[in-house]
């Protein structure tokens, strides 16, 4: 017999003391279940809040830390990975330097990499520098 039916049966039979005992036991059991559920919910909420605060703090720290990129100085010549040598005269070095200053950080790194990869990539950078100068 489930608890509500037991309680009704006790009231009908005039067993008030047993009714009180069963009712207290039922309330304690339900309170324990509610407290456990509340604890789990609050724990998740606290952990989520702390996680979000930690992520926010890390993002702020990263945003504050400047990304240091070394000053780029075009070289007179580049030993290319394909075995060729790329040579820049003074005017070409100036054009490449001006192009470098106009690029965002990702493209700056990419441009420096392209200057030493192959004859084709070296010439692409040089042609882009000429176009940008005009």
61-81 pLDDT tens trace? 655 545 545 567 788 888 888
Note the pLDDT of residue 108: 87
Integer Rg of the chain from CA: 38
- Dist. CA 61–CA 82, nearest whole Å: 41
**Taking Cα atoms as reference points, which of 86, 113, 85, 111 lies closest to residue 98?**
111
Series of mean pLDDT values for 10-residue runs along the chain (134 residues): 73 77 80 83 75 68 54 79 86 90 87 88 91 83
Query: What predicted TM-score, i.e. pTM, was given to this entire model?
Result: 0.47
Note the pLDDT of residue 28: 81
| Rounded-to-10 torsion of CA 46, 50, 51, 57 | 160
Give the distance between the most distant pair of CA atoms in the chain. Answer: 110
DSSP E strands, 88-129: none
Query: Mean of the per-residue pLDDT values for the chain?
Result: 79
């Amino acid at each position: 017999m489930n608890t509500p039916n037991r309680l009704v049966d006790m009231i009908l039979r005039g067993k008030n003391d047993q009714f009180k005992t069963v009712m207290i036991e039922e309330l304690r059991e339900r309170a324990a279940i509610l407290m456990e559920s509340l604890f789990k919910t609050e724990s998740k909420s606290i952990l989520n809040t702390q996680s979000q605060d930690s992520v926010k703090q890390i993002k702020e720290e990263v945003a504050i830390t400047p990304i240091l990129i070394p000053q780029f100085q075009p070289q007179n010549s580049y030993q290319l990975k394909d075995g060729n040598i790329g040579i820049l005269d003074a005017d070409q070095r100036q054009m490449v330097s001006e192009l470098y200053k106009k690029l965002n950080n990702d493209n700056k790194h990419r441009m420096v990499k392209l200057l030493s990869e192959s004859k084709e990539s070296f010439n692409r950078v040089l042609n882009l520098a000429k176009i940008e100068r005009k």
